[in-house]
Structure 1
Amino acid sequence: MEPIERIRIVGAGAMGRGIAQVAATAGYRVELTDTDDAAVRAALEFVASMIQRSVDKGKRSADEGEAILARLTAGAAPTAPAADIDLVIEAVVEKLPIKQAIFTELETATPNAVLASNTSSLSITAIASALRDPSRLIGLHFFNPVPLMSLVEVVPGLRTAPALVDTATAFVTRLGHTPILARDTPGFLVNHLGRALPSEALAILSEQVASPADIDRIVRDTLGLRMGPFELMDLTGLDVSHPVMETVSAGFYGDPRLRPSPIAATRVAAGLLGRKTGEGFYRYEDGVPRLPAEPEITPDAAAIPVHVHNHPDFAATLRRSGATVLETPDAEAVSLVLPVGEPTYRVAARYGLDPALTLGIDPLGIDRRRLTVIVPSAADLVVVAPALRVLAAAGYLPTPTTDVTAPVAQRIMATIVNLSCALAEHGIGTPEDIDRGARLGLGYPLGPLELGESAGTERVVAILDGLYAYTRDPRYRVSTWLRARAEQRISLHTRGARPEDLLTNRGTDVRSR
């Protein structure tokens, strides 16, 4: 195909103007169109202000700024005839009939153009089904705000011409953005990946394991994510995130791994949407959340003797802070156990420990400052409470949680990893694009497959198997990709040998290798 030089953007909202800005900056000639002329004028003024701001900050010269704006103009109309348009990017409301109607007209009006939709939730194949030639349409899913979010999902439909993938990838690369290839499935790649964190957090909340604030603290401080799930849902708006959960779940016919929460549906009905309404999981004043204060715990290494079961490194950490750490359980001491994929009370019972004198410690937190402390239902709170002061003396921020199924961070980490492995298993994205999409599109410090390998694949499988054994909820079934690689001790990024690989190598003399 001929290289792309002239672009038409259909839709002058936040996404359309963002795409127009980055395309003009990259050297393309861009015409911005909308059914509302005022929206186009406002978008052009906004882009001009952004370019001027970059000039004022010294990021580009005034001449460069003027050249960018000279390449960006107002188009006559979204479907005006034009034989010189090389690429049309649609960025209008997420309604299938509207998108189909636009592309039906564009197919004739721009006969030489590649047609692309910026849809985040609709099937590219379904949009293209209205065209006489569906091979001309591809998905280019940008993320908001476009100038700051460098990720773009390239999504071919079932009848998209294969050559368009290379054309779209080259276009995105010239923008200075990062393309990833996603299959045309509900949520594509990144929105699908992003369902694990909020859905498991909502499940934990529904079980009254911990408050939203404590779950957010654990996710930030133990798993290293920049935002907790409830902060994120408040920022996005529950009226946006919950429908995405419902759409992706329905698109995969109720896969339990993608199960939405009735908590979210009820809060949407109540108008508790997050920052935009002044209240969500948190209250907001002038856009600033009023977070509940974290309880103060006075450090005291001598508050009570403790016995650490089967974790000498953690015991040594407590001893260095001055704590009395016993080698064996004692009626005057609190036993600390480190459960993996199971409740604390079961660990206590298995090793003959008194559940009234036992607390659980999530081992994922012992090398960090945040320490999740699991409180069994049978715990004698008067006796075990001083152990929090002992932990605080060792430099930890203890966060008590209820004892059900498995520790909070383990559940969230394992479900994130498991869902990403399921996406790799079904070819929705390559392992590399799964990690890249999560880092760039979701802001994760590690990609989910990288996270799984960092935590240890055998441990992740043990957590999920423990959750499934305890709950019998297929939500926690281990993906074949994850289990096979954990058992063979190979990387989660390894595609592995395929039958077609055997056929292509059938004439190779293995003795020559």
Structure 2
Amino acid sequence: MQALHSNALVAVIGAGAMGAGIAQVAAQAGHPVKLYDNRPGAAAQAVAGIDRQLGRLVEKGKLAPEAREAISARLQPVEAIEALADARLVIEAIVEDLQVKQGLLRQLEGLCAPDCILASNTSSLSITRLAAGLQRPQQVVGMHFFNPAPLMALVEVVCGLATDPGIATTLYETARAWGKQPVHARSTPGFIVNRVARPFYAENLRLLQEGAADCATLDALLREAGGFAMGAFELTDLIGHDVNYAVTCSVFDAFYGDFRFQPSLLQKELVDAGRLGRKSGQGFYRYGEGAERPPAAELHTLASAEHCVAEGHLGVMQPLLERLRDRGVAITERAGSGLLRVGDATLALSDGRLASQRAREDGLGNLVLIDLALDYQAATRIAISWSADTTPEARDQAVALLQRAGLRVTGVADLPGLVVLRTVAMLANEAADAVLQGVGSAADIDLALCAGVNYPRGPLAWAEQIGVGYTLRVLDNLQRSYGESRYRPSLLLRRSDAQGARLHD
């Protein structure tokens, strides 16, 4: 199947930020576009707003004046839904209400040609339920854009039970022709992104609740060690806690109360208080004139570290050795189980156990655990925790070694999996379950998280880099520590580990 021809009329219903953005994307791709909203004058106002945005692009030299004129000429606001009868594709971007959307689709089915594609931009409602009861449910498909639609690359093309696969392919190719990065998804709660991304928020909310560190410190670790564009708390402040909490509750309810999607009482309290984030002036952080972001916590020591011993391969943390060598640290390498020793301190990558538990079980004195980093050569900050019997002198020796590598060192409470490792392991676990259940392919799920929410690496690719077996071990240890089904490892991870198979095979 091929993309819709650029002369095919595209209709967009809903002239809010998302609908206007979708209309702009289609017009920029060369389609004639009709924009309709049931609020008088709203469509015309949205088209004028699009023209102003295009004008700003012209002022910045990013768009030719004649291109602006051509795009604006292709945008037509209409005041009656009957004007959409000749559309080849209709995309609705109205309120997230099942009955309202179903009523609109029934109206469109009676209005438009039998071969017209009816697409919903819903982010959470079932495409199967939206199409149920229609005479032509095979024509209904999800086309989920991300806000702002002109800038965000991802489009989730979502099939319900009755969706014609050929129509889904047409929309997939159309999204590509529009300059987007589409992925195929099956209509299950949250589709890909709103399902797989839940642990990013949930684990950091739990770490905050359990006293691992404060918001600013946890956010800094996700950015400066994990490579994420934003931490969980600044991101939920940006999204709006009412929106983020509602999506979490929706997914939790849709999965019959599966505790892997359990909403956070901390976030509920913010919503109850009206502290919705940037739009209300306060969330986890304060906003507005004079508001300052608190600094991340950091450990400092005057101790020095000139020499260390690497016992065996350090796994994903191996690049740290090269970084230390580049800064003049002498390294002795010998056989062992992946430990790094400096002075009296023993350093190791976290495996999901408490530092005190691992020290006792493995017989390791003065144990300091190191968190995961996206790139140990480029990271600027790293988290550590230490066992109860680690002396202050040994901890300082570990801090001195990591400082010598040019890292800011942040201490967090002795909790399973630290911060980045725990977050990534749970993201990979949810992604693996989505693959196992046929929601999407491994490649599409990784692409969706990178293109849709700007993750620095797809969760499944990250699990393969860490090692599927190691990721599984972290999850097993998290589950043992908490005794909760929330941390149960995906069967796909167990099977891939047992078979020695890649997740992307």
2:220: which partner in 1? 217
**1:462 Cα shift?**
1.2
2:424: which partner in 1? 413
Larger Rg: 1
SS in 2 for 1:140: strand
**1:165 Cα shift?**
1.1
* 1:316–1:293 Cα change, 3 Å: closer
1:375: which partner in 2? 386
* 1:309–1:299 Cα change, 3 Å: farther
**1:153 Cα shift?**
0.9
1:431: which partner in 2? 442
Partner Cα separation in structure 2 for residue 169 and residue 316 of structure 1: 44
Partner Cα separation in structure 2 for residue 124 and residue 170 of structure 1: 19
Provide the aligned length of Structure 1 versus Structure 2. 490
Structure 2, unpaired ranges of 5+: none
* 1:170–1:133 Cα change, 3 Å: same
Is contact 1:85–1:110 with CA below 8 Å preserved after alignment? Answer: yes
1:199-218 matches, within 5 Å, as 199-218=202-221
Is contact 1:307–1:336 with CA below 8 Å preserved after alignment? Answer: no
1:69-468 matches, within 5 Å, as 69-77=72-80, 79-80=81-82, 82-112=84-114, 113-286=116-289, 290-295=293-298, 297-301=300-304, 333-354=344-365, 357-362=366-371, 364=373, 367=377, 368-381=379-392, 384-385=395-396, 387-468=398-479
Partner Cα separation in structure 2 for residue 129 and residue 316 of structure 1: 59
SS in 2 for 1:182: strand
Partner Cα separation in structure 1 for residue 364 and residue 431 of structure 2: 37
1:67: which partner in 2? 70
SS in 2 for 1:290: coil
**1:147 Cα shift?**
0.5
The C-alpha deviation readout for 1:139-168, integer Å capped at 9, x for no partner, is: 111111011012111112212233311222
* 1:329–1:276 Cα change, 3 Å: closer
Partner Cα separation in structure 2 for residue 17 and residue 287 of structure 1: 34
1:498: which partner in 2? none
Is contact 2:298–2:410 with CA below 8 Å preserved after alignment? Answer: no
Q: TM-score, normalised on structure 1?
A: 0.87
* 1:311–1:164 Cα change, 3 Å: closer
Partner Cα separation in structure 1 for residue 312 and residue 220 of structure 2: 27
AA aligned to 2:103 is A
Of the structure 1 ranges 91-100 and 269-278, higher mean CA displacement relative to structure 2 is found in 269-278
AA aligned to 1:176 is G
The C-alpha deviation readout for 1:386-417, integer Å capped at 9, x for no partner, is: 65345323422111011122222221111011
Is contact 1:301–1:323 with CA below 8 Å preserved after alignment? Answer: no
Partner Cα separation in structure 2 for residue 302 and residue 154 of structure 1: 53
Partner Cα separation in structure 2 for residue 390 and residue 160 of structure 1: 58
Partner Cα separation in structure 1 for residue 193 and residue 271 of structure 2: 23
The C-alpha deviation readout for 1:275-327, integer Å capped at 9, x for no partner, is: 11222112223497623354462553169x98887778768976865699999
AA aligned to 2:10 is I
Is contact 1:301–1:322 with CA below 8 Å preserved after alignment? Answer: no
Q: TM-score, normalised on structure 2?
A: 0.88
Partner Cα separation in structure 2 for residue 38 and residue 329 of structure 1: 67
The C-alpha deviation readout for 1:85-109, integer Å capped at 9, x for no partner, is: 2111111111112111212211112
Pair 1:478 & 2:489 matched: yes
Partner Cα separation in structure 1 for residue 331 and residue 344 of structure 2: 9
AA aligned to 1:43 is A
SS in 2 for 1:402: coil
* 1:286–1:122 Cα change, 3 Å: farther
Is contact 2:225–2:372 with CA below 8 Å preserved after alignment? Answer: no
Is contact 2:121–2:143 with CA below 8 Å preserved after alignment? Answer: yes
* 1:178–1:308 Cα change, 3 Å: closer
SS in 2 for 1:37: coil
SS in 1 for 2:157: strand
1:41: which partner in 2? 44
The C-alpha deviation readout for 1:418-476, integer Å capped at 9, x for no partner, is: 11111000000111110110110010121111111111111111111111222221222
Partner Cα separation in structure 2 for residue 287 and residue 245 of structure 1: 32
Partner Cα separation in structure 1 for residue 253 and residue 175 of structure 2: 30
* 1:394–1:41 Cα change, 3 Å: same
* 1:128–1:339 Cα change, 3 Å: closer
AA aligned to 2:157 is V
Q: CA RMSD of the aligned region, Å?
A: 3.1
Partner Cα separation in structure 1 for residue 188 and residue 123 of structure 2: 11
AA aligned to 2:190 is G
Percent identity, aligned pairs only, is 38
* 1:69–1:363 Cα change, 3 Å: closer
SS in 1 for 2:412: strand
AA aligned to 1:454 is Q
AA aligned to 1:30 is V
The C-alpha deviation readout for 1:316-357, integer Å capped at 9, x for no partner, is: 976865699999999x94444443121111222234445xx4
**1:12 Cα shift?**
0.5
SS in 2 for 1:121: coil
